[in-house]
Structure 1
Amino acid sequence: MKMFSIKKLISPTGSIQGKIFVAFSLVTLIGIVAVTSIVYLYMRETVKNNAINSVNESIRQADESLNLRLEEVSRLNTVVATNKTVLDTLLSKTEEPSFEWFQEQKRIEEFLAALIAYKSYISRVAVIGLNQKVFFVGSPWLDKNVLFSPMMDALLQNGSGHAYFHQTGFNNSIVTGRELRYNRNLIGMVMFDLNDEFIKKIYDVKPTPDSMLYVVDRKNEFIYEPQTSVLDKEAFIQFNQQLAGTDGSVEKVINQQSYLVITRKSDYTGWSTVALVPMKSLLTETTHIRNVLATVAIIVFIFIVIGTLQVSSRITRNIRRLRSMMMHVMEGNMTLPTVEIQSKDEIGQLYLVFKSMVEELKRLLEGIMKTEREKREAELAVLQAQIRPHFLYNTLNTVKYLAKINGVPNIVEVSESLIELMRGVLGNTNEFLTLQEELQYVRNYVTIEKYKYVEPLHLNIEVENDDLLQLNVLKLMLQPLVENAIVHGLSASSYEGTVDIRIYKVNDELRIEVRDNGKGMSKEQIEHLFEVNKVQTNTRFSGMGVRNVHERIVRLFGEPYGVFVESEPDVYTIVQIRFPLLPA
């Protein structure tokens, strides 16, 4: 079940190759879309600006061309206004019809004809006197009724310099006129009609076939208007009022269609030129460019996707190899395939780490197998060892009962002490026990030992406080010291031996002193007790000496705890244990 969960955990539900492919494809797609959009918008803006510049330049050239013609007509007006023949004719008293009147008419018409010769843009020139004398060259026909027309009123009101009037109807034309004065008195008007076709030709500015261009005077009267218009006169007047005072370009929506509106006002005539260019027609070429860009972007993206698939496959090839090796090891095979990963990148480094880890795992598994084998052997040995103490306990009990039956109390005492001592040492596997239990081991040991010597052996235990007996101490911490005192201190003595054990507390330390009245030890002998390379083999019971007890305490609790020896030859020996206070 555990193996199944591991396999499920590393199953390729979301492969690195797939993530690299998707991520790179998304980044590429976003980049291509962004670049294509920026290029398209830039080209659209460029086309729009080029159209604005082109229309502005065309309108400027048309205005300049018209201004040149109007300036030329203004000079002709001045020529007529200062001509003596014209002034004398208007001031003469001749009446129509008369020979003198025909002579005057002939002279003025010859003068006017010569004046507009080779000027095709002028369709008619006329001199009109307030005395109802009318002379003209060109078409259409003109008579004295012109004096009572709106055109004449407009020209008379504004003709101190030069005035303009758009004449509509059968003969569309632009009329420019100037007053004729003699001795500062108004005597008449000179008028030049500009050909309507000339105006159309000048303002035939069309960046697109469906573009529209309007020219209006100061009174919002059309000077020029297209044949087809999206605005009637009233709508255009309102629209033009919104654009009043502005020169430049702006996008406007007219009849739910977007138009580029370009306006310009002539400084010479005061006329406003308004061009309406449909954005749809203007951007037709950019739409084609957009489609081309989209096609190219799709083709490039397809090639990049194919390349990304190949590159991601090559990048993750070593990852797939490493994964295969891991699956191989997970199935219990500790031998890696012969195909190695030779790359020097992170995957190659990861392979080397994995390889060393497998080798270490193989070594640990072999160690575990060896340990398990040794453990089984140790369990068998423990089972055998458990049989031996039980057999020994039963044998000692048998000896004790036989001694009791035969009335030998000494043997009974020794047997009981030995049984209790062995049961405590061999039966209790804990590393720590109470001080009271440790003292009982010491009593049992001394009971056994005292029958070996001729002279009596006395054990005195002094406890400062009974609460100290419930503290934890190391197992067999005190018995080796008493054994050392009896074996080395009292065995060679010729008088009664005494072992005094004093237990007390100093600050946060438990102090245990073992004092004997034996032969004592010199400094060399004391140092010999703590030599590392010496093993205390001459202890009779446990095989553990003073150095062993000292090392056990220091290893567990560090300095300043341990065993400290003070002795005077042939007088005494004091072995002191310093141990931390460990509640049970």
Structure 2
Amino acid sequence: MKHFFRKMSLKQRLWVSFVLLTVVCISATGTYVSVFFSHEMELQATKTSQDTLNRTAQVLDERLRNIVVLVSTLMMGEPFQQTMKDVQGDSGNNYFYHLSQMQTAFAQLMVADQSIDTVLLHTPIGEFYPTENSRSGRAFEDTLLYDKINTVNGPWNMLWVPGHDEELFRRGNPVISLIIKPLFENPVASTYVIVNIREEYLEKLIMSNRSETSINQLIIDRKGQGVLSSINNPVNDNSRIYEQSGDDSKGNFEYRNASGELFLVNYAALGMNPDWAIVGYQSKSELLRPISRMRWTILTIMGACVLLALIMSSMLSELLLKPLFKLRNLMMKVERNKLDVRFESAFEDEISQVGHKFNRMLEQIQELLEEVKVSEQAKRKSEIKALQAQIDPHFLYNTLNTIYWKSEMEESQAVGEMIVSLSLLFRLGLNNGKEITTLRQELEHVEQYLKLQAMCYPDLFRYEIKPAEDSLLAYPVLKIVLQPLVENSILHGFQELPHQGRIVIEAIEADGLLTLIVTDNGTGMDAAQVERLLNHPPDKLDSYALANVRSRLKLYYGEKAAMELYSEPGVATTVKLTIPIHEVIHE
């Protein structure tokens, strides 16, 4: 066969090769199109389902958040506060007076949100509720809600209870319940605000946000139990669904039920209660049913194309051979980085047009090579700024909340100090839009942050910024590299620490390198495991602090920069940043 092929003329070999290539390419293209459309249809359906779930989760979160805000407003009202004072004093003499005073607040709550079915304030001196509702004879201690409270491990302020029949009043509607401990200066034992939310209202919210009728939706909890008792489940195995979803807030996967039917599953956790997730199901067989008809159409088209290729290949081989060889030779020269070659032809056929486009492409490549050199540096700076913008100032909420409460308690001096520190923190962080700051300003920036956190979390930790040599303070460093490390220590190292935490920051110089060291005595971490996690894609990380700092250092300083992690849990956890020293910034 090889000998026979070698004896063919170049034209014959081109003809045979062209036919074989056509057959292979059309077959591959047909197969690819079938697989591609199946994949794209599946991706589009998954995306549509995810968008639908995200919208539904957002709407439900807004509704649940509105209810929480309304209850908080109720608890901050004067009637509620006066009632709590009597509860705290164990004085039931004014029970009927307080019951009367609370009616207006209850009425406003019920009017403000139509999804609220009933509301009850349970206290040691008695129960307070809208008198227009008929209270059942069942004691609160004998209800499912009381059992749920007793099964909670650890401290809590707000508890969501999945769907159940309403037990406190005679309505008996299917509801989900919100249990909140009252907002009061001192904790009040055995006192709860119970808000029952109608399931039918939440069902209407879910149904109104469905963009596809083929998507079935339900809400499950971490145990795989349905949250709304009245929504049908086509899969009937929620526990396996939850196991496959993992701890991510949203995502998708394929799931095969006990009968062998394959489903496309999307899920999105609720922000107000991460233990609950909205799950959407689609039958994959029903979704991909149009693809089977498409495959038969593709096979018919493939047969016609192969027949046409047999006819056209003989005609085209003669016309394309000569200029094609010429163009190929030029391309081979380009492969050897000879970009000054050009295609020339007296003809104006398609190959000549391709040759002229080839010439234009070479000119554009030469122009792009020059532009890439200029744009690469700008791209690197943009990536640094983009990474820097990911630094999450989530402590701002706690800071402003602390300022508010301190102002309420008339601690004007503390409020003034916090406002000044917050102002300095932002001014130093902005740094007039520059990426590089001095070591002095970077240490001052992290000091202002620590001051604010220390006032937000009194007695949680203490800190020490060891004085650096005067010659080091003017050295240029990438801004906001210490604050994420300190934030990581406070949020992950001290929250469960039985004793007061301690943070030590120091800067030293050795061998032409500047080393910044952050050490804490927190609960620690598995340094080797964290190193492995830092190599994962950013969207797979739970925390961006360490990965963000390391990425920005690498982008700006290259391989000369390094980040090292050391940890002995409960004793010392150290993050060491090493960067090259450049010229001094004159302030």
Tell me the TM-score range normalised by the shorter chain.
0.3 to 0.5
Q: TM-score, with normalisation over the residues of structure 1? A: 0.43
Bigger RCO (CA 8 Å, 6+ sep): 2
Q: TM-score, with normalisation over the residues of structure 2? A: 0.43
Q: Which one has the largest radius of gyration?
A: 1
